[in-house]
Amino acid sequence: MNAQGSVPESARRYALRRALFRFSQSGLSLVGLALVVTLLMIAVFGPSLAPYPEHLGGAVNTAARFRPPSLAHPFGTNELGQDVFSLVLGGTRVSVLAGLAVVMLGTLIGTVVGAIAGYAGGWTDEILMRISDLKLTVPGLILAMAVAAALGPGILNMVIAIALSWWPGYARLVRGEVMAKKEELFVTAARAIGAGPGRILFRHILPNILTPVIVKMSLDMGFAILTVASLGFIGIGVKPPTPEWGSLLSVARGYMPDYWWTAIFPGLAIFTAVFGFNLLGDGLRDVFDPKARR
Amino acid sequence: MLEIENVSKVFPGRRSLFGKSEPVVALDQVSLSVRKGGCFGLVGESGSGKTTLTRSILRLDVPTSGRILFEGQDLASLSPAALRHIRARIQIVFQDPYASLNPRMSVHDIVAEPLVIHRDVMGLDNRQRTDRAVELLALVGLGAQHLHRYPHEFSGGQRQRIGIARALATNPDLILLDEPTSALDVSVQAQVLNLLIDLQDRLSLTYLFISHDLGVIRYVCDEIALIWRGKIVEKGQTAAVFDNPASEYARMLIAAMPEVRSAATRE
Chain A, chain B: beta-carbon pairs less than 8 Å apart: 101
Which of residues A94 and A108 earns the better pLDDT score?
A108
pLDDT in tens, A267-285: 888 888 888 888 887 777 7
Chain B residues touching A18 at Cβ < 8 A: 148
Superfamily of A76-292 according to CATH? MetI-like (1.10.3720.10)
Nearest to B130 among A7, A194, A208 (CB): A7
Residue of B109, B119, B114 whose CA lies nearest to A18: B109
Check residue B195 and give its pLDDT: 92
Determine, for residues B106 and A192 on separate chains, whether the beta-carbon distance falls below 8 Å: no
Residue B208 has what DSSP assignment? E
Report the C-alpha gap between B110 and B253 in whole angstroms.
38
CA distance A34 to chain B (A): 27
Close Cβ partners of A76 (under 8 Å, ≥ 6 residues apart): A66, A67, A68, A69, A70, A84, A259, A261, A262, A265
What chain A residue is nearest to B132 in terms of C-alpha separation? A2
- Contact of A85 with A74, CB cutoff 8 Å: yes
Burial degree of A92 (CB within 10 A; 0-12, 13-18, 19+) = buried
Q: What's the rounded Cα separation, in Å, for the pair A203 and A194?
A: 13
Nearest to A12 by CA among B120, B132, B130, B115: B130
Element spanning B211, H or E:
strand B206-211
CA A29 to chain B, closest CA, distance in angstroms equals 21
Chain A residues with CB under 8 Å of a chain B CB are 1-7, 10-12, 14-15, 18, 184-186, 188-195, 199, 203-204, 207-208, 288-291
Under the banding of pLDDT at 50, 70 and 90, the label for residue A237 is low
Looking at the DSSP assignment, which residues form a beta bridge with residue B223?
Answer: B40, B237
Sign of torsion over alpha carbons A143, A120, A105, A217: negative
Task: Give the Cα separation of A113 and A66 in Å (integer).
Answer: 50
Chain A partners of B178 at a C-beta cutoff of 8 Å?
none
Question: What H or E segment, with its residue span, contains residue A89?
Answer: helix A84-92
Give ∠ CA A74-A77-A81 in degrees, rounded to 5. 140
Residue A104: the pLDDT is 92
pLDDT at B267: 45
Please indicate whether, in this complex, the C-beta atoms of A207 and B92 are within 8 angstroms of each other.
Answer: no
Q: Determine how β-strand B39-43 pairs with β-strand B223-228.
A: parallel
Which residues have C-beta within 8 Å of that of residue B259, sequence separation ≥ 6? none
Residue of B53, B102, B109, B131 to mutate when probing chain A, most A C-beta within 10 A: B102
Q: Do B87 and A193 touch (CB under 8 A)?
A: yes
Q: Where are the domains of chain A?
A: 76-292
Asked whether the beta carbons of residue B113 and residue A195 sit closer than 8 angstroms, the reply is yes
Question: In chain B, which residues have their Cβ closer than 8 Å to the Cβ of A207?
Answer: 102, 104-105
Identify the residue among B104, B119, B168 best suited for mutation to test binding to A, counting A beta carbons within 10 A and taking the highest.
B104
- CB nearest to A11's CB, from B102, B130, B166: B130
Q: How far apart are CA B70 and CA B154, in angstroms?
A: 35
The answer to whether B156 touches B98, Cβ cutoff 8 Å, is yes
Q: List pLDDT tens digits, range A25-60.
A: 878 888 988 998 898 888 888 778 888 888 777 777
Chain B closest-CA separation from residue A209 CA (Å): 10
Q: What is the pLDDT of residues A169-192, one digit of tens each?
A: 899 999 999 999 998 899 999 988
User: Which amino acid, A222?
Assistant: G
Put simply, the answer to whether A11 touches B106 (Cβ < 8 Å) is: yes
Tally the C-alpha atoms within 13 A of residue B182's C-alpha that lie toward its C-beta.
Answer: 19
In order along its 267 residues, chain B shows pLDDT tens digits of 888 888 888 888 777 777 777 888 888 888 988 888 889 999 888 888 888 888 889 888 888 888 899 888 888 888 888 888 888 899 999 988 889 999 889 999 999 999 999 888 888 888 899 999 999 999 999 988 888 888 888 888 999 999 999 999 999 999 999 988 888 888 888 899 999 999 998 998 999 999 888 888 888 898 999 888 888 888 888 888 888 888 888 888 888 777 765 555 544
Which of B191, B199, B190 lies closest to B165 in space, CA to CA? B199
- Name the residue in chain B with its Cα closest to that of A199: B117
Dihedral angle, C-alpha B86, B87, B90, B92, nearest 10 °: 170
Report d(CA B73, CA B94) in Å as an integer.
25
CA distance A196 to chain B (A): 9
Partners of B235 in the beta sheet?
B225
3-state secondary structure of B248: helix
CB contact under 8 A, B131 and A194: no
Nearest CA in chain A to B101: A186
**Per-residue pLDDT at B52:** 87
Residues with Cβ within 8 Å of B181's Cβ and at least 6 positions away in sequence, in order, are B160, B188, B189, B192, B193, B211, B213, B216
Residues of B in contact with A199 (CB under 8 A): 117
User: Is the CB of residue B112 less than 8 Å away from at least one CB of chain A?
Assistant: yes
Distance CA B84, CA B22 (A): 35
Q: Do B117 and A194 touch (CB under 8 A)?
A: yes
From first CA to last CA, the distance across chain A in angstroms is 38
Q: Is the model's pLDDT at A109 over the cut of 90? A: yes
B68 phi and psi, to 5 degrees? -120, 120
**Chain A residues closer than 8 Å to B163 by CB:** 189
For residue A1, the model assigns a pLDDT of 38
Question: What average pLDDT is seen over chain A?
Answer: 82
Q: A15: which chain B residues are within 8 Å (Cβ-Cβ)?
A: 106, 148
Instruction: List the single best residue of A1, A4, A191 to mutate versus B (max B Cβ within 10 A).
Output: A4
DSSP designation for A67? P
Label residue A289 by pLDDT band (50, 70, 90): low
In chain B, positions 59-88, which contact chain A (CB-CB < 8 Å)? Answer: 60, 83-84, 87-88
Whether the CB-CB separation of A193 and B114 falls below 8 Å is answered with yes
pTM over 0.80, yes/no:
no
Chain centre distance of CA A58: 28
φ and ψ at B22, to 5 degrees?
Answer: -65, 140
